[in-house]
Amino acid sequence: MNGPVVVGVDGSTSALAAVEIAAREARLRGVGLQVVHAFIWPSLHVSLGPSPVGPADGGLRNAADKLLSEAVARARETEPGVEVTEHLVTGEPLTVLEARSREASLVVVGSRGMGGFIGLLVGSTAVHLAAHGRCPVLVVRGDAGATGSVVVAVDGSPQGDAAVGFAFAEASARGVDLVAVHAWNTWTERGDDDPGHPQNLVDGIDRMRSAEERLLAEALSGWQDRYPDVTVHRRLVENRIRQALIEATEQAQLIVVGARGRGGFTGLLLGSVSQALLHHGHCPVAVVRGDVS
């Protein structure tokens, strides 16, 4: 998509970090940046102006204007060549950002919020956006300034193919390597004899490993042809899925996951795997839906 990058701001430190990432993403895409603040107070019918006994520049409306101006200034300082516009939109954050995602190429939000985006991550807004946004959603958490590779979680599903494509494009634009991780296992969380140690459930481990290697290679092959400039490192990991991906974020600058998966990432739709990354990942997390038209 050639739509703008949209970043939600609320005056928090986390939101300003998101502004910097969003400005860079806009430059990489060659599109504009919309800095958006969801201004819920008019719908609550409260006074927006300064208090009669307070400073002339006080009040909710002035506070919203100030935080927007600060965010816009940060974006322009980060990427002077990007066209930046500010948008004060009446409504609650979830509704405002979901609506903006319909015309955006990417929505960026911080991992912790306040004010207009209270509990932004790991709360309802970011999780809802990742599940229902109409474009990829990038949640800025962990070390947003990391310089490692882009990591993508590969499961071989048609839905997950969109995440693989997004990851290739990001790695190409950033000029870094791509680490493709496919986690698989034959374990159960509870063994009959020793609950503390997983048990193998199937025979033919070598055959299963070979099948997983083929799945990983096939999921990448077409995208490697489209992005010959990207160096790809295939990582087949026999481990619990959440643990494998969280560990992969330790040396990454971005991890990309699909919103739904199967095989090695069954139930990826903002279930245990993606939520684990949103809570515990060490770098920004991009969630890409494969069913958006």
Percent of the chain with pLDDT over 90: 48
d(CA 131, CA 271): 10
Extended strands (E) in the chain: 5-8, 33-39, 84-90, 106-110, 137-140, 149-153, 178-184, 187-188, 199-200, 232-238, 252-258, 285-288
- What local confidence, expressed as pLDDT, does residue 69 receive? 94
Is the domain covering 1-140 a CATH 3.20.20.450 domain? Answer: no
Q: Is 285 helix (H, G, I), strand (E, B) or coil?
A: strand
Predicted pLDDT at 64:
85
Q: What angle do CA 90, 97, 109 make, to 5 degrees?
A: 120
Read off φ and ψ for residue 149, nearest 5 degrees: -80, 170
Q: Are the CB atoms for 246 and 255 separated by under 8 Å?
A: no
pLDDT of residue 117: 45
Question: pLDDT: is 52 or 8 the higher one?
Answer: 8
Concatenating the DSSP letter of every residue in 126-161 gives HHHHHHH-SS-EEEE-S-TT--SEEEEE----TTTH
* pLDDT above 60: residue 194: no
CB atoms within 10 A of CB 269: 18
**pLDDT in the model for residue 227:** 97
Segments making up each domain of the chain, as ranges: 1-140, 141-292
What global pTM score does this model have?
A: 0.83
CA separation for the pair 124, 282 (Å, rounded): 21
- Give Cα separations from 55 to 45, 52, 62, 80, 155 (angstroms): 21, 8, 11, 33, 57
d(CA 206, CA 211): 9
Q: pLDDT by residue (tens digit) across 121-165?
A: 444 567 778 878 899 999 998 777 778 999 999 988 887 899 999
**Top-level CATH class of 141-292?**
alpha beta
CATH topology identical between 1-140 and 141-292: yes
Structure tokens at 227: 């992005």
List residues bridging with 288 in a β-sheet. 258
Is residue 167 within 8 Å of 230, Cβ to Cβ? no
